[in-house]
Amino acid sequence: MFQTFRYGLDKLYYQFPAPNGIYNVELYFTEPWLGIGGSMDATGMRLFDVAINDKIVLKDLDIWKEAGSNAALKKTFQVKVNDGMLRISFPNTKVGQAIIAAIAVASRNGNVQKAPSFQMIKDLNCTGCSINSWLDEGDELFKNAEIQINKLPSSLFGSDWLFAERKNLDDIHFVLTDTADVYLAIESGLKISKEYERLNDSVITDEDSGRKYDLHRKRFIKGERATINYKGVGLIAIQQATNMQPAYDLKPTTSYKSDVAIFNKSVEKKIISNNERTVIKNDDNAEIVWPIETGVADVYSITVKYNSPLEKDIDAMLQLFDVSNKKLVEEPVQFKFTKTGKWNYVNINTGSMINAGSYKVKLVTKNAEGLIISNIDVQ
């Protein structure tokens, strides 16, 4: 159950049709990346809220702090449904992205009847067609031909889709019940309306040892009518639209080391573990500045890699300045004792989107003689 998970920002969202009543909701979490190997304190490196039916039930959830890496964390809630729908959302993420591995929902009423499933289309006008749910590999592609799907792009798993007869020459019409992406898998070489975007992916069937159908996509708004010429179409799939951010953990990270660092007289460079590091050499006020560049407008995290041989907590301030030296961010951080040969991390984020351009990250501290700063990572 914990081998797969889903993650994102506020657009990460689930909704389940549920008859009105009382339910037990179980949420299962795991931290698959942060703190792997045990050499890193990942406290505060992923913080997010969880809401059920728009009510916050978990505030600043820190999976690593509660369970560590690659371990199960279960949270259980009793929830009342009043409008026939159970909604689970992640309205605020302070650091990283929200992540969830599994959801279990059980009614307290043993006689509850299953709620009708939500379908993405209505008013279907198509001879011999039916609306199917949960598209998967192994499904037959056509009603009148024993042709199976061998490979399905990940974006299409679980989609609603139209099950029709092959060589159906009639146009297909339907109305979208919510804003959605309509995907068409088309026989290679056939032309299609320019309104559809050609994607760099395909559906592969078991025909001819693997026939490819090129994948195209168009977004329709709620209530809009779609008309599709079925000639040459292998698959019509409908997926609820999402504006989910690109996966935070897969976004590019830029590392800034001591070679670009600018510092005052309380800091020096030393070779430690075969690499040049910045080291605070006395207890006076110490400042280290890293000039950084951001390539796109986004929310950025700033992670400081350090080693602290002092058996006390060291208070410091991380600041972010724009090119005009305007202070955009100022967050307190704390460096903790770190064993020899090990590295630890502190992390902040910009809180809101900043533009592409040049910035400065500044670390300010005192009473920190011996603190070793390896680098900062900006993601």
Give per-residue pLDDT as tens, 140-166: 988 888 899 999 987 788 889 999 887
pLDDT for residue 70 = 87
Average pLDDT over residues 339-355: 83
pLDDT surpasses 60 at 79 = yes
116 is a domain residue: no
Among the three residues 62, 83, 107, which one is the final residue of a domain in this structure?
A: 107
Q: Where does the pLDDT of residue 329 fall: very low under 50, low under 70, confident under 90, or very high at 90 and above?
A: very high
| Predicted TM-score of the model (pTM) | 0.52
Q: Are strands 197-205 and 211-220 parallel, antiparallel or unpaired?
A: antiparallel
The boundaries of the domain holding residue 22 are 6-107
Residues 229 and 317 in one domain: no
Question: Domain tally for the chain?
Answer: 3
245 is a domain residue: no
Residues 228 and 279 in one domain: no
Identity of the residue numbered 313: D
Residues 235 and 255 in one domain: no
Cβ 45 vs Cβ 97: under 8 Å: no
pLDDT for residue 39 = 61
Handedness of CA 324, 328, 330, 336 (dihedral sign): negative
92 is a domain residue: yes
Residues 102 and 127 in one domain: no
Q: Where does the pLDDT of residue 244 fall: very low under 50, low under 70, confident under 90, or very high at 90 and above?
A: low
Residues 162 and 100 in one domain: no
Residue 243 vs residue 13, higher pLDDT: 13
Nearest to 83 by CA among 166, 13, 174, 18: 18
Cβ 40 vs Cβ 34: under 8 Å: yes
- Encode burial over 346-365: b for 16+ CB neighbours within 10 A, e otherwise: bbbbbeeebeeeebbbbbbb
pLDDT for residue 324 = 93
Kindly tell me the burial class for residue 188, based on how many C-beta atoms sit within 10 Å of its own C-beta (0-12, 13-18, 19 or more): exposed
Identity of the residue numbered 88: I
pLDDT surpasses 80 at 170 = no
361 is a domain residue: yes
- Domain harbouring 13, CATH code: 2.60.120.430
Average pLDDT over residues 162-189: 87
Q: CA of 127: how far to CAs of 91, 120, 152, 172, 230, in Å?
A: 43, 19, 25, 8, 11
Average pLDDT over residues 263-273: 94
pLDDT surpasses 70 at 250 = no
